[in-house]
C-alpha cells in the first residue's frame, strides 16, 4: 500500500460545486431540526435553497457549451466510485428544480402558516429540504444505484409533505398512503431493473453501463432491465395508466407542496427516463424503439386527451390542474417518443415551460385557499374583482397552459408540432392541436367562474398578501418572458438534446 | 430427449434463488394489490421488497467463491475466488430504505385510523365518497342559485 502514490491536488470551492448542489440543502435539513425553533426554520430553508439556485446557475453556465463536469465523490475514481456528472441536460433540470424551490419557498411562509399547524413547521421545512436535495441528487448523479437512493430520499420526504395536508382535509392521509404504495412499487421495479443491468454489465456507473451495452449489444437481461426501469420510472412520472396517485396527492397536499411537486418532482422523473432511454440504453435497439413507438407514444396521446377531458369536468380548481398535469406530461412523453433532435428539444423545453406555468397556477391556488378558504369553483366565484392580481396571474398561467402565442406554452407546443411534421406524423400534429382545444375549455371554465360571476353577498375576501403575489407574478412573468425570448431555453434544451442523443447510435 | 430434460432440470435447480425471487415477488405484489387491509398491504410491500434483496444477494454469488475478506497481512492469493460483495452493500442501503418506508407507512396508518376509525380500504372509500358527494352538492347548490 505504501508504494501507492496519492494524488492530492488542491481543489477550490468552485471544483466542489456539484457536491455543494446537493449537500447544502441536505445539511440544512437536520440543522433546522437541531435548532428546533419555528422562527428560524423558514429563513434557513430559503437561504439553503437560494444557495442551491446560485450553484445551479454557475453549473449551467459552465456546461451550456456542451462540455461535461465529472466530479468524483470522495476522490474515488469512477467507475468504482460514485460520480456526479453534470452536462447541459441535467444542469437545466437542476436549474429548474432549485429555481422553483426558491420561488415556492418565498411564497410558502404565509401559506404554510395557514395550512400547517405551528408545532410542525420546523419538521415541515426539514422534510421539504430533504425532498429538494433528493430531487437535486437524482438529477446530478451519474451512478445508477445512487439514483435509486436519492429517488427514495425525495419520495419519502414527499409522502410526509403530502400527509401534512391532513389539517385541512383528512383525505391527504389516504392520498399520501396510496402514493407511498405506488411510489415504493415504482422504486422497487426501478431497483430490479438496475439489478438486471448490473448482472449484464457488472458496473453501476451510467456512462460505463452505456459503453458495455453498446459493446455487447442487446440481450434478454438488458431488455428485462429496460422494461423494469421504464415501468418503475413511469410510475414516478405519472405516465398515463400509472398516474392514479397524482390527482389525489396534488389535490390534498398543502398548496406550497403541490406547487413545488408539480413544478419539479415529475420533471425530475422524466429526466431519469430521458437519461436511461437515451444515454444508458440505446434507442437504436429494436426492443426499445418499439417500446417507445408502440407503447409510450399511444399512451402519451391517450393522456393528452383523457386527462384533459377529465379536467374539464372538475369542480375544484386544484384538482383540475392536477389532471391537466397528467395531460401535459403526455406532451413531454410524446416529444421523447418522437426520437428526434427536435422532438427531444420540444420535450425538454416543455418540461421547463410547464414547470413554471404550473408553479404560477398552483401558487394562485394557494392564494385562493388562504383568502377564500378553498379552491372549489363555488369558493372562488367572482373573485376576479376582489383579487385582481391573483386572478390576472391565473389568466397568464392559463394562457400558457393552452399554448397561446406569446407565452411559454406556445413555444414548446410549436416545437412539438414541428417535430411531428418533421417525422411526417401529421395526424399526431393535429392531435396536439386538438387536445389544446380541451385545455381552452378547462381554462375557460375557471376564468368564467372568476370574472363572469357575481361575488357572493357578504363576501369579505381580500387580495392575497404581497409575499405571495410577488413569487406568483415572477412565475407568471417568466411564462411570458420565456414565450417571447426563447433564446435561453431553446439553446439549453437543444444542447441538452444533442448531448443525450450523442451517446446513442442508429438514429436517423 | 432425456439429456435435454436433465439439462433443463439442472438449469431449474441451479437457478433456485431466482425462481424463489420471482415467486416471492409475485406473492408480495399480489398482496399489495388484492388485500383491502392497509396493514396487510404494507406486509405485502415488505415481501415484495425482500424478494429484491434476495435477487441482489444471488447476483453476488460467484461459483466456488469464498467470503470476500482479505487476509490481515494483505497477501492476496490470486488463485482464491471471492464472492462479489458489492450487491450486498447495495442491499444494505435498500434495507434501510425498506425500513423507512415501512415505518412511514405504518405511521400513516395510525393517523388514518385516528381520522377515519378504520383501516379497511372499502370502508375508507365509502367515507371519502360521502365527503366528495357533500362537496359536489354544496358546489351545485351555490353555483345553481345564480343560474
Q: What is the ipTM of this complex?
A: 0.92
For residue B147, pLDDT over 50 is answered with no
Q: What is the pLDDT of residue A1?
A: 40
Instruction: Determine contact: A377 vs chain B, CB below 8 A.
Output: yes
Which of the two residues, B8 and A150, has the higher pLDDT score? A150
| Residue of chain A nearest B147, judged by CA positions | A453
For residue A111, pLDDT over 70 is answered with yes
Q: What is the pLDDT of residue B145?
A: 58
> Which of A120, A154, A171 to substitute to test the interface with B, most B CBs within 10 Å?
A171
Q: How far is B105 from chain A (nearest CA, A)?
A: 7
Instruction: Determine contact: A16 vs chain B, CB below 8 A.
Output: no
Domain assignment present for A27: no
Q: What is the pLDDT of residue B40?
A: 96
Q: What is the pLDDT of residue A9?
A: 59
**A-chain residues within 8 Å CB-CB of B48?**
185, 188
> What average pLDDT does the segment B24-50 reach?
95
Instruction: Determine contact: A454 vs chain B, CB below 8 A.
Output: yes
Helices (H), A79-170: 88-115, 121-140, 144-163
The average confidence (pLDDT) of chain B is 89
Residue pLDDT, tens place only, A233-254:
999 999 988 999 999 999 999 9
Domain assignment present for A362: yes
Instruction: Determine contact: B146 vs chain A, CB below 8 A.
Output: yes
Instruction: Determine contact: A481 vs chain B, CB below 8 A.
Output: no
> What average pLDDT does the segment A8-36 reach?
86
- Distance in angstroms (rounded) separating the CA atoms of residues A91 and A394: 29
Q: What is the pLDDT of residue A7?
A: 53
| Residue of chain A nearest B127, judged by CA positions | A171
Q: What is the pLDDT of residue A496?
A: 86
Query: Residues near B14 by Cβ (< 8 Å), separated by ≥ 6?
Result: none
For residue A408, pLDDT over 80 is answered with yes
Tell me whether residues A152 and B138 touch, CB distance under 8 A.
Answer: no
- Which structural domain, as residue segments, surrounds residue A396? 295-499
Residue pLDDT, tens place only, B57-110:
998 888 888 888 888 887 877 888 888 888 988 999 999 999 999 999 999 999
**B-chain residues within 8 Å CB-CB of A232?**
none
The average confidence (pLDDT) of chain A is 89
C-alpha separations of A41 from A44, A129, A190 in Å: 5, 11, 34
C-alpha cell at A11: 481543489
> Which of A3, A148, A164, A177 to substitute to test the interface with B, most B CBs within 10 Å?
A177
C-alpha cell at A99: 429555481
For residue A394, pLDDT over 50 is answered with yes
Domain assignment present for A299: yes
For residue A364, pLDDT over 60 is answered with yes
For residue A425, pLDDT over 70 is answered with yes
- Distance in angstroms (rounded) separating the CA atoms of residues A469 and A489: 25
**A-chain residues within 8 Å CB-CB of B142?**
378, 381, 456
Neighbour tally for B111: CB within 10 Å? 17
Domain assignment present for A79: no
Q: How far is A251 from chain B (nearest CA, A)?
A: 13
**B-chain residues within 8 Å CB-CB of A156?**
97, 100-101, 104
Domain assignment present for A410: yes
Q: What is the pLDDT of residue A506?
A: 38
Q: In this prediction, what percent of chain A has a pLDDT beyond 70?
A: 97
Instruction: Determine contact: B54 vs chain A, CB below 8 A.
Output: no
- Distance in angstroms (rounded) separating the CA atoms of residues A52 and A140: 12
For residue A190, pLDDT over 60 is answered with yes
Q: How far is A317 from chain B (nearest CA, A)?
A: 12
Count structural domains, chain A: 1
Residue pLDDT, tens place only, A254-292:
999 999 999 999 999 999 999 998 888 877 777 777 888
**B-chain residues within 8 Å CB-CB of A242?**
none
Q: What is the pLDDT of residue A455?
A: 82
Domain assignment present for A466: yes
Q: How far is B143 from chain A (nearest CA, A)?
A: 6
For residue A505, pLDDT over 50 is answered with no
> Which of A159, A178, A181, A202 to substitute to test the interface with B, most B CBs within 10 Å?
A181
**A-chain residues within 8 Å CB-CB of B53?**
none
Strands A69-72 and A83-86: antiparallel
Contact A409, A354 (CB under 8 A): yes
Residue pLDDT, tens place only, A320-360:
999 999 999 999 999 999 888 899 999 999 999 999 999 99
| Residue of chain A nearest B124, judged by CA positions | A174
For residue A202, pLDDT over 50 is answered with yes
Q: Which of A75-79, A340-344, A364-368, B126-130 has the lowest mean pLDDT?
A: A75-79
Q: What is the pLDDT of residue B109?
A: 96
User: How many interchain CB pairs under 8 A, A with B?
Assistant: 93
C-alpha cell at A135: 430531487
- Distance in angstroms (rounded) separating the CA atoms of residues A192 and A183: 14
Amino acid at each position: 500500500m505504501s508504494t501507492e502514490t496519492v494524488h492530492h491536488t488542491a481543489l477550490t470551492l468552485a471544483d466542489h460545486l456539484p457536491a455543494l448542489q446537493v449537500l447544502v440543502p441536505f445539511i440544512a435539513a437536520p440543522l433546522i431540526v437541531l435548532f428546533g425553533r419555528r422562527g428560524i426554520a423558514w429563513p434557513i430553508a430559503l437561504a439553503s435553497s437560494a444557495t442551491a439556485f446560485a450553484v445551479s446557475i454557475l453549473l449551467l453556465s459552465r456546461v451550456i457549451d456542451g462540455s461535461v463536469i465529472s466530479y468524483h465523490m470522495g476522490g474515488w475514481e469512477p467507475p468504482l466510485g460514485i460520480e456526479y456528472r453534470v452536462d447541459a441536460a441535467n444542469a437545466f433540470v437542476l436549474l429548474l428544480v432549485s429555481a422553483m424551490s426558491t420561488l415556492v419557498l418565498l411564497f410558502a411562509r404565509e401559506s404554510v402558516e395557514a395550512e400547517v399547524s405551528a408545532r410542525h413547521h420546523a419538521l415541515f421545512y426539514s422534510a421539504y429540504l430533504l425532498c429538494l436535495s433528493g430531487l437535486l441528487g437524482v438529477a446530478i448523479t451519474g451512478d445508477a444505484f445512487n439514483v435509486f437512493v436519492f429517488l427514495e430520499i425525495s419520495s419519502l420526504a414527499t409522502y410526509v409533505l403530502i400527509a401534512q395536508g391532513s389539517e385541512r382535509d383528512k383525505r391527504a392521509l389516504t392520498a399520501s398512503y396510496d402514493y407511498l404504495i405506488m411510489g415504493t412499487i415504482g422504486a422497487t421495479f426501478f431497483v430490479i431493473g438496475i439489478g438486471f443491468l448490473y448482472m449484464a454489465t457488472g458496473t453501476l456507473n451510467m456512462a460505463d453501463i452505456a459503453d458495455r451495452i453498446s459493446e455487447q449489444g442487446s440481450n434478454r437481461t438488458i431488455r428485462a432491465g429496460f422494461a423494469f426501469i421504464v415501468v418503475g420510472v413511469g410510475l414516478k412520472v405519472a405516465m398515463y395508466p400509472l398516474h392514479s396517485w397524482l390527482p389525489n396527492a396534488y389535490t390534498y397536499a398543502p398548496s406550497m407542496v403541490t406547487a413545488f411537486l408539480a413544478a419539479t418532482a415529475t420533471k425530475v422523473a422524466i429526466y431519469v427516463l430521458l437519461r436511461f432511454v437515451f444515454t444508458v440504453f440505446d434507442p437504436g435497439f429494436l426492443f426499445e424503439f418499439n417500446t417507445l413507438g408502440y407503447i409510450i407514444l399511444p399512451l402519451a396521446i391517450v393522456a393528452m386527451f383523457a386527462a384533459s377531458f377529465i379536467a374539464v369536468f372538475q369542480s375544484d380548481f386544484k384538482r383540475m390542474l392536477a389532471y391537466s398535469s397528467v395531460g401535459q406530461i403526455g406532451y413531454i412523453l410524446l416529444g421523447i417518443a418522437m426520437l428526434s433532435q427536435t422532438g427531444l428539444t420540444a420535450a425538454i423545453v416543455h418540461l421547463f415551460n410547464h414547470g413554471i406555468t404550473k408553479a404560477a397556477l398552483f401558487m394562485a391556488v394557494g392564494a385562493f385557499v388562504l383568502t377564500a378558504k378553498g379552491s372549489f369553483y363555488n369558493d372562488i366565484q367572482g373573485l376576479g374583482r376582489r383579487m385582481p392580481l391573483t386572478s390576472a396571474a391565473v389568466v397568464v398561467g392559463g394562457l400558457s397552459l393552452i399554448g397561446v402565442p406569446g407565452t411559454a406554452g406556445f413555444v414548446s407546443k410549436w416545437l412539438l408540432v414541428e417535430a411531428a411534421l418533421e417525422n411526417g406524423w401529421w395526424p399526431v400534429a393535429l392531435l396536439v392541436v386538438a387536445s389544446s382545444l380541451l385545455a381552452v375549455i378547462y381554462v375557460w371554465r375557471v376564468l368564467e367562474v372568476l370574472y363572469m360571476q357575481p361575488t357572493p353577498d357578504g363576501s369579505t375576501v381580500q387580495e392575497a398578501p404581497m409575499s405571495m403575489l410577488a413569487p406568483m407574478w415572477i412565475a407568471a412573468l417568466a411564462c411570458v418572458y420565456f414565450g417571447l425570448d426563447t433564446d435561453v431555453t431553446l439553446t439549453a434544451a437543444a444542447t441538452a438534446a444533442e448531448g443525450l442523443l450523442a451517446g446513442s447510435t442508429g438514429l436517423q | 430427449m432425456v439429456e435435454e430434460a436433465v439439462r433443463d432440470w439442472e438449469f431449474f435447480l441451479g437457478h433456485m434463488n431466482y425462481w424463489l425471487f420471482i415467486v416471492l415477488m409475485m406473492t408480495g405484489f399480489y398482496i399489495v394489490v388484492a388485500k383491502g387491509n392497509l396493514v396487510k398491504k404494507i406486509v405485502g410491500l415488505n415481501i415484495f421488497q425482500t424478494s429484491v434483496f434476495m435477487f441482489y444477494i444471488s447476483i453476488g454469488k460467484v461459483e466456488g467463491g469464498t467470503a470476500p475478506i482479505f487476509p490481515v497481512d494483505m497477501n492476496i492469493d490470486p488463485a482464491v475466488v471471492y464472492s462479489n460483495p458489492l450487491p450486498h452493500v447495495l442491499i444494505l442501503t435498500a434495507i434501510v430504505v425498506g425500513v423507512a418506508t415501512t415505518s412511514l407507512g405504518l405511521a400513516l396508518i395510525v393517523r388514518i385510523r385516528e381520522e377515519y376509525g378504520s383501516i379497511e380500504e372499502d370502508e375508507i372509500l365509502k367515507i371519502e365518497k360521502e365527503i366528495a358527494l357533500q362537496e359536489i352538492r354544496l358546489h351545485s347548490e351555490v353555483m345553481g342559485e345564480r343560474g
